[in-house]
Structure 1
């Protein structure tokens, strides 16, 4: 596999790797990526990008103009990286392990950010290789804060309209550099439900004087498991998981509680199945509660939509990615199953055609999946980030007559 140095030069490559390790040492959470964002902005200025703007306070957009960047209006395509870490311990054992308790880059966003900076260095060094403009998007708050949506609502694509947008994510257990890309669903919608079954509490010795919400909640939990198996086409992946139950007090074992709270998550790969499951959860909760003379109050929170790679864009770009993979002696896989995890890049690809890919991280010493305390980004993968994005730019923003 070619090195990052061969793509952007030794000095730039060493600075990018050092930058990545510094981010890993100083992780930040959610939208509060103040230090990270300031460091990214400073690096972009040092690299020589043409324009920088902030969105949603800590989100950054930067423009690199190519050979025909002054055309009116210039064609512009976007590339996004997420910057935030997770509230978890870091046990990677590296010299650059997190210095902040319960803050760790366990999902590789430090590497995603460094990969986009490496590509920024390439774009600045190779303006004559593409026409139009490249928009570099550095996004906070991917891990549950919907940072992409916040940047969009703050005017990202109004100020910088793009024809199409791309993103890459590390694949922790895939071989180093292997590229996963295809048309259609890549990740699932990520929704939450919060159900409160409200009855009438009382003495455990006299249940007939109550409207006990506990058996109603128990029946509801079991019934929720049949929504997917008996309502959704088996060919359409979907998940309903009950993840917490709260009722009564262990110190009051003879008190039938007034209410039971049930929370969980729903994952689907299509908008239609998402709509169906939300409707059935509401109906099932109300019916189960009614059997006990209780009531059900359902809050269904749609967090991230499913990431659907645009079919036409995939048809145009996958051959380019395939040639890049071959030139780097790695594999392109377009037959893998979609992930049931969520990804807020989906907000961007709902607005314009989008393509989301995954890049393998695993070689000796890097064989841990993401969100594991021992995970660390493999710096050798930065070369794949840069090469893939560079070849996409050359193909999608070609110089006339080239």
Structure 2
């Protein structure tokens, strides 16, 4: 998962505050740690550390850094993370100077390192051929004192977008990060596109073989609701997931509630289509992060207990339809169903705005091993019993694809089919 942003500025701009602000718009993509690197001619300033963006960076420190080029990154909690993992961007020698390298993605060649990638990006000759042979799901930002290179994998599994801030160019994992600094969104960087930006402007090259297979889980869970992917509103897609779910899996109830926050938009869509009123049923503690991306199971279980509290007045004596975006391990939904019953709900019907997650992903999302995926090990009926619900139903894969804009997706987590041959992923 993870997320990053890069800015190649004109001579007058100071990018450190812009990078800092944009990280808040990317925080949902990684909560383990962050890095921010600014290039000022031959001088490079680096800030990085574990924790949330608000914990790492001090305003006075950010304001003291000068430079018109730079990048910033938030790191996701990978299952096999080294506790001493580097928080990107990382700085490497680049010919007679230095360059920063930021990567969001996984690579299939186990021996591949960030230094290998940094080395071949310093020499811009034959970049399309080099990228063609770089197998995986990734976006890359590489910046030295003279230029910025931004690359999206040839399958377009990872998102990467292009924007402009005055006379400066911006690339980022999501449009929300571009919006957050008041930049203008220009377009998506295309699958297999290599964008080079320097003092003369922007040019692009392409790898030979290209096809778009964007990760569909971006629409379901990962991306911020105010982002656009491939020109499609994430909010609209999630709302329509809920509407389609109500058509496919109706149930009688007194109210519809969303599992905060990722199920809320689909719940509104379900309420609209079913004409069953939507009400708030659960209050979320805004100071607790996303439990799915915490690094171990005990932390996830504790996070669920402290991040949500039921609104008993709305739930007592009611038949509740609970809409959530997905079920991965089953930890959160099981606790939520029990919470609703303890608050007085007489029935709890669970509706999920995507199909069962049955396959572990080594490319994009880093879902856990399949032995931990409830959808891979239990039938829908048995899952319903396990989570303690009165009924459980999922959105069909055909409907999910349709509301997200067509059949241009990697759907491996649902159907087991990667767009490229995969044995193991290598997080960089």
- Say whether the fold is shared (TM-score over 0.5): no
**Higher share in helix:** 1
Larger Rg: 1
TM-score (norm 2): 0.24
The structure whose RCO (Cα within 8 Å, separation 6+) is larger is 1
TM-score (norm 1): 0.25
